């Protein structure tokens, strides 16, 4: 049995996957702050999984952890996991001793891409995470495509509007500046627990700023889909992340933006971009399952053959 954890800014999703690849147990718990808090959360999650009915913790073989931030290929070092309060963390030193099991860590979006690919038929996909920020993981033949320096899939910082809003990366009109939850909340600048939902509601009521932000969101997500298909020719672009809670309202806008963008181009129309979009079901364990697969690759060297 392989354990997989998706350590997020507020909660951690943990699964046990059996040898046939089925989820044998799942728990969720709040993520504690900082490197020590993350290590404690991981240890608590693994222990809690071991108490679930039908789960025998002596059969746990590996632990895979998906975390936001940068994971240097081939290392156990995580940096810039800012929404976990972690500037730098050596997972080998801090977490492995608490577990007594082989541990591997992966960027959370790349882990989710692996999980989404395992839960779906087909050779290739991109997982496009629509959350506070925007990033994608590309899986080809069951393996994460990293590129030369691990940057492949970082579509959030491709500028699609030179006159667009400033991005936290310093650029202007980045996909993330137009479609990232944090950027939308900042541009909306009104109190509320779910700013993007508020923007959709206000746009429905005819608010001009909200309509602009909602249109920008659709255009930027459509651009990300177009870029992912044109660069990697993935069969599907699977959407996940917090913003997909609004999928029923978001997807028609995105499909329309893709169709409008392709209207004058027989080539783009032939790619059927809008038909390649899928969304993870609500509450999907894809990210934690992907982490379990990445951890399990310790034995097989699948998925992470190049780090």
What residues line the site for Zn ion (CB under 5 A)? 157, 167, 169, 171, 174
d(CA 5, CA 66): 6
Distance of CA 267 to the CA centre of its chain: 29
Q: How far is the CB of 105 from Zn ion (least distance, A)?
A: 25
The residue (of 161 and 302) whose beta carbon lies closer to Zn ion is 161
The residue (of 180 and 296) whose beta carbon lies closer to Zn ion is 180
d(CA 216, CA 184): 9
List the helix and strand counts (H, then E) for the chain.
11, 13
What is the dihedral sign for C-alpha 136, 278, 174, 208?
negative
The residue (of 42 and 135) whose beta carbon lies closer to Zn ion is 135
Q: Is 104 exposed, middle or buried (0-12, 13-18, 19+ CB in 10 A)?
A: buried
What does the longest C-alpha to C-alpha distance in the chain come to? Answer: 60
Q: How far is the CB of 170 from Zn ion (least distance, A)?
A: 7
d(CA 287, CA 295): 12
The residue (of 171 and 242) whose beta carbon lies closer to Zn ion is 171
CA atoms within 13 A on the CB side of 169: 17
d(CA 2, CA 22): 10
For 193, residues 6+ apart whose C-beta sits below 8 A from its C-beta are none
The residue (of 101 and 169) whose beta carbon lies closer to Zn ion is 169
Q: How far is the CB of 157 from Zn ion (least distance, A)?
A: 4
Quickly count: other Cβ atoms within 10 Å of residue 167's Cβ: 20
Q: How far is the CB of 80 from Zn ion (least distance, A)?
A: 14
Q: How far is the CB of 168 from Zn ion (least distance, A)?
A: 7
Q: How far is the CB of 295 from Zn ion (least distance, A)?
A: 31
Q: How far is the CB of 234 from Zn ion (least distance, A)?
A: 22
The residue (of 152 and 169) whose beta carbon lies closer to Zn ion is 169
The residue (of 167 and 234) whose beta carbon lies closer to Zn ion is 167
């Amino acid at each position: 049995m392989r354990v997989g954890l998706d350590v997020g800014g507020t909660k951690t999703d943990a699964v046990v996957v059996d040898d046939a690849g089925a989820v044998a147990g799942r728990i969720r718990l709040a993520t504690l702050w900082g490197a020590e808090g993350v290590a404690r959360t991981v240890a608590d999650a693994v222990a809690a999984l071991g108490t679930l009915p039908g789960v025998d913790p002596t059969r746990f073989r590996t632990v895979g952890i998906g975390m936001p931030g940068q994971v240097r290929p081939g290392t156990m070092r995580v940096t810039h996991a800012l929404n976990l309060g972690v500037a730098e963390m050596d997972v080998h030193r801090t977490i492995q001793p608490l577990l007594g099991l082989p541990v591997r860590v992966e960027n959370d979006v790349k882990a989710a891409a692996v999980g989404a690919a395992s839960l779906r038929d087909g050779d290739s996909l991109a997982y496009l995470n629509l959350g506070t920020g925007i990033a994608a993981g590309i899986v080809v033949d069951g393996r994460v495509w990293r590129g030369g320096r691990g940057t492949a899939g970082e579509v959030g910082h491709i500028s699609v509007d030179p006159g667009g809003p400033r991005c936290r990366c310093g650029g202007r009109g980045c996909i993330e500046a137009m479609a990232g939850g944090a950027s939308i909340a900042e541009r909306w600048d009104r109190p509320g627990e779910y700013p993007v939902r508020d923007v959709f509601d206000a746009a429905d009521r005819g608010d001009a700023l909200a309509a602009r932000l909602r249109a920008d969101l659709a255009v930027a997500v459509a651009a990300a889909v177009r870029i992912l298909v044109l660069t990697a020719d993935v069969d599907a672009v699977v959407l996940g992340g917090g913003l997909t809670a609004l999928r029923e309202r978001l997807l028609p806008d995105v499909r329309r933006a893709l169709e409008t963008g392709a209207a004058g181009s027989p080539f783009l129309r032939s790619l059927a971009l809008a038909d390649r979009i899928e969304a993870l079901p609500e509450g999907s364990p894809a990210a934690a399952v992907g982490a379990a697969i990445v951890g399990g690759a310790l034995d097989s060297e699948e998925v992470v053959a190049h780090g």
